């Protein structure tokens, strides 16, 4: 049996034109297949628009697709071109429950003011520039579930992916009338004014976990082989700041693949977080589900070839069988330098994308077991 690894990359609309024409998509799929990748995560939801014609958006907001894509279906083009070269496709719902970025809620909240998330002062919930829909509201959750389901029902995809905004909700939120009422009904008191109160954090995180469990079931009802992947922020920060309870998701088996965003700009920092994940969050049984997100490019930052290779090699040492890179344009810089580094180095031999049974097998290869033992021995002596 050959190598089984997740070798993935995100396709964005931010700082990238790759999804803006069928020709660019075809060229990208050729490059990715030649480089040794086996899965792409194309964005399908951001800035209050979809990158596929959406009946859910049409019915709820009167906008069927991203205006830049009128007359095309970028998701369908990605599926066709990816299949042509043997790549898997897992659409990525980038904005999740965020309604807008520095637009005071944007068109979504103009049309649906009752979906507004509120902080403890009753203001529109805003964090790091993003304004938020109320992720704890059942109508908002149903809207989002419908977006996901129309993708898995209408396209030949291999799964769906959420991220640090899905399922997620800034912990400063939850002070809208509906959520306060629900909390009061259960505990006969109002929620704590301290958004970081442990019980209040957990109560809201449990609502999001319940939503994910429901979404997981609904996706599997369409096709049990579809993967549900999430690229959350790193635990426990993600729990404190965005109510993302990934250890519980893993325990409950409601996520097939998890790609924590280890977006660090030097190898030592990356290494420290990877160690912590393997030691504290993932067990023998859940380790196959881990394929960290690695920052390849952001603004003027670009990963060095040395760090790139080190991170992949270190993942394998820890028994982590794969990674996903943010994002595609990083491969293209300086005449495809990083693509060449991967093709001639860690991705020189081809690898199959893991099946669902690979991900849930918890079967640890001897190499992996021995590396874990070596690390334990090092700690002891």
Q: What is the pLDDT of residues 89-121, one digit of tens each?
A: 999 999 999 999 999 999 999 999 999 999 999
β-strands 126-127, 88-89 pairing = unpaired
Task: Return mean pLDDT, the chain.
Answer: 95
Phi, psi (5° rounding) for residue 133?
Answer: -75, 160
CATH number assigned to the domain covering 6-360: 3.20.20.80
- State pTM to two decimals: 0.94
pLDDT band at 378; cut points 50, 70, 90? low
pLDDT of 375 over the 60 cut: no
- Is residue 370 scored above 60 in pLDDT? no
The answer to whether the beta carbons of residues 6 and 288 sit under 8 Å apart is: no
**What pLDDT, on the 0 to 100 scale, is given for residue 360?**
84
* pLDDT tens by residue, 281-298: 999 899 999 999 999 999
Average the pLDDT over 309-317 and give the result.
Answer: 98
Instruction: Please give the Cα distance from 100 to 288 (Å, whole number).
Output: 34
CB atoms under 10 Å from CB of 126, counted, come to 20
pLDDT over 70 at 376, yes or no: no
Say what the pLDDT of residue 365 is: 45
Pairing verdict, β 126-127 and 98-101: unpaired
**Scanning the structure block, which residue is given the tokens 């304004």?**
131
Task: Give the β-pairing of 6-11 and 39-42.
Answer: parallel
The phi-psi region of residue 243 (left if phi > 0; otherwise alpha if psi is between -120 and 50; otherwise beta) is: left
C-beta separation of 78 from 127 below 8 A: no
Task: Give the pLDDT score at 373.
Answer: 53
Q: Residue 262 in contact with residue 234, Cβ under 8 Å?
A: yes
Residue 372 banded pLDDT, cuts 50, 70, 90: low
Give the C-alpha separation, 310 to 333, whole Å.
20
Q: Which residues contact 281 (CB under 8 A, 6 or more apart)?
A: 235, 246, 247, 250
SS (H, E, C) the chain: CCCECEEEEEECCCCCCHHHCHHHHHHHHHHHHHHCCCEEEEECEECCEECCCCHHHHHHHCCCCCHHHCCCCHHHHHHHHHHHCCCEECCECCCCCEEEECCCCHHHHHHCHHHECECCCCCECEECCEEEECCCCHHHHHHHHHHHHHHHHHCCCCEEEEECCECCCCCCCCCCHHHHHHHHHHHCCCCCCCCCCHHHHHHHHHHHHHHHHHHHHHHHHHCCCCEEEECCCCCCHHHHHHCCCHHHHHHHCCCCEECCEECCCCHHHHHHHHHHHHHHHCCCCCHHHECCEEECEECCEECCHHHHHHHHHHHHHHCCCEEEEECCHHHHHHHHHHHHHHHHCCCCCCCECCCHHHHHHCCCCHHHHHHHHHHHHHHHC
Cα distance between residue 128 and residue 312, in whole Å: 30
Overall average pLDDT of the 286-311 stretch: 97
- Encode pLDDT of 205-264 as tens digits: 999 999 999 999 999 999 999 999 999 999 999 999 999 999 999 999 999 999 999 999
Residue 300 has pLDDT above 60, yes or no: yes
Q: What pLDDT, on a 0 to 100 scale, did the predictor assign at position 62? A: 96
Are the C-beta atoms of 253 and 283 separated by less than 8 Å? no
Give me the residues paired with residue 11 across strands.
Answer: 42
Mean pLDDT calculated for residue range 186-207? 98
Summarised one tens digit per residue, pLDDT across range 23-53 is: 999 999 999 999 999 999 999 999 999 999 9
Instruction: Report whether pLDDT(199) > 50.
Output: yes
Residues 6+ apart with CB under 8 A from 244: 164, 167, 168, 205, 208, 232, 233, 235, 238
pLDDT score recorded for residue 381: 46
Q: What is the pLDDT of residue 257?
A: 98
Average pLDDT score over residue span 85-90: 98
Residue of 175, 176, 182, 191 lying closest to 210 (CA atoms): 182
Q: What is the pLDDT of residue 366?
A: 39
């Amino acid at each position: 049996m050959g190598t089984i690894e997740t070798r993935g990359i995100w396709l964005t609309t931010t700082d990238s034109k790759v999804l803006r024409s069928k020709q660019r998509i075809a060229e990208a799929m050729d490059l990715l297949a030649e480089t040794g990748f086996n899965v792409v995560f194309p964005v399908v939801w951001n800035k209050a628009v979809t990158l596929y014609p959406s009946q859910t958006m049409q019915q709820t907001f009167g906008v069927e697709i991203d205006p830049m894509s009128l007359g095309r279906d970028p998701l369908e083009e990605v599926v066709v071109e990816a299949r042509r070269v043997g790549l898997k496709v897992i659409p990525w719902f980038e904005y999740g429950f965020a309604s807008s970025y520095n637009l005071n809620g944007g068109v979504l909240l103009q049309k649906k003011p009752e979906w507004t998330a509120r902080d403890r002062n009753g203001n529109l919930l805003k964090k790091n520039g993003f304004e938020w829909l109320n992720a704890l509201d059942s109508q908002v959750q149903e809207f989002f579930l419908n977006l996901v389901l129309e993708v898995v029902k209408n396209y030949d995809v291999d799964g769906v992916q959420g991220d640090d905004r899905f399922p997620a909700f800034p912990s400063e939120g939850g002070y809208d009338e509906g959520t306060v009422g629900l909390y009061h009904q259960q505990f006969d008191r109002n929620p704590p004014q301290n958004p970081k109160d442990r019980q209040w954090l957990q109560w809201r995180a449990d609502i999001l976990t319940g939503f994910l469990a429901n979404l997981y079931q609904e996706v599997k009802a369409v096709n049990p082989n579809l993967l549900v992947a999430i690229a959350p922020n790193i635990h426990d920060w993600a729990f404190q700041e965005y109510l993302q309870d990934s250890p519980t998701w893993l325990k409950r088996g409601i996520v097939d693949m998890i790609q924590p965003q280890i977006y660090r700009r030097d190898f030592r920092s990356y290494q420290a977080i990877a160690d912590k994940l393997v030691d504290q969050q993932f067990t023998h049984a859940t380790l196959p589900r881990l394929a960290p997100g690695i920052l390849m490019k952001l603004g003027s930052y670009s990963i060095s070839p040395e760090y790139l290779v080190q991170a992949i090699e270190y993942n394998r040492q820890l028994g982590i069988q794969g990674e996903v890179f943010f994002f595609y344009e990083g491969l293209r810089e300086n005449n495809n330098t990083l693509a060449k580094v991967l093709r001639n180095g860690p991705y020189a031999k081809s690898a199959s994308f893991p099946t669902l049974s690979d991900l849930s097998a918890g079967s640890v290869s001897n190499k992996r077991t021995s590396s874990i033992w070596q690390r334990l021995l090092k700690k002891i002596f």
